[in-house]
Amino acid sequence: MRRAFVAMGLAVAVAAMAGCASNSPTGQTGAPPSGAVSGSPVACSNNTLHLYQPGTLTVATDSPAFEPWFLDNQPANGGGFESAVAYDIARLLGFTVDEVKWVVEPFNSSYAPGPKKFDFDINEISVTPQREQAVTFSDGYYDVTQALVALKGSPITTANTPSDLAKYKYGAQVGTTSLAYIQQNVMPTQQPAVFDTTNDAKSALQAHRIDALVADLPTASYIAAAQIPGSVVVGQFPSSAEHFGLLFQKGNPLVACVNQVIAELKMDGILQIRVDQYLADYEKVPTIQP
């Protein structure tokens, strides 16, 4: 019988991994965590876990899986913030690397009502009251802010006071908190453009159909650094207490065990190590007021 253990010894191992990882935002390397973890047991073990597939932890995310959350569009390689965190959680629940199975779940369908073909979804999904009506979320594993990406030379890069910001044409992916933030906080005079995917929003920005796109800060920073030549992060908006949570089928009791693990990862500093390892370079952006 497998036992799940807290991360007393894990902090040292993860810190060493972080020290070996590239500091370049586009050059991260990583592998699924492996090896035994010692410490006090969490009150969850294999025979008490409610799993989609017995003996396997089934983890979902979207495709493509973007950096810096994942590396090379390969969630199973352990590179990127969310892949690394998923394997940290799996290991503390008692799963080996080979017992973790990744499946594709589109972002827009992840929080729809109904049965899920996974144990949890990790895909930069913000916890909102509306989504909680249909699914269950874990405690937060990353506090997030929204940010603006625009093309260099665009007026918005220098004229971005609150009154200025209301004048521009924005775009964001449908169903996201990025789109909601534009509508509720920026309140532009032009209706924001809504896109099926962030890739579509990026294409619209490159084609000058929108003045700026809105995305979570690490994603926005990666877009500007590596995906849209000649673009820049204008700034991040103030914190609105938004955070990402793991998404479960409504009422899935597995969330109680996962919350214990997330608490241990926070207490032992592992989540902060992962932030420093994969996201710190993307968070160095000035704050602007909506």
Neighbours of 163 (CB within 10 A): 8
pLDDT score, position 48:
67
Q: How far apart are CA 125 and CA 177, in angstroms?
A: 9
pLDDT tens digits for 145-202? 999 999 999 999 999 999 999 999 999 999 999 999 999 999 999 999 999 999 999 9
CATH number of this structure's domain 146-236, picked from the four choices 3.40.30.10, 3.40.50.2300, 3.40.190.10, 1.20.120.530: 3.40.190.10
Is 270 in contact with 195 (CB distance < 8 Å)? no
Q: What DSSP assignment string belongs to 230-258?
A: TEEEEEEPPP-S-EEEEEEETT-THHHHH
The pTM for the full model equals 0.86
Least confident of 2-11, 192-201, 233-242: 2-11
DSSP β-ladder status, 3-5 and 193-195: unpaired
Give the residue range(s) of CATH 3.40.190.10 domains in the chain: 3-143+243-282, 146-236
pLDDT tens digits for 263-274? 999 999 999 999
Q: How far apart are CA 190 and CA 34, in angstroms?
A: 51
Which of 71, 67, 39, 86 has its CA nearest to residue 271? 86
pLDDT tens digits for 196-233? 999 999 999 999 999 999 999 999 999 999 999 999 99
CATH class, 3-143+243-282 region: alpha beta
CA angle at residue 121 from 145 to 112, to 5 degrees?
A: 90
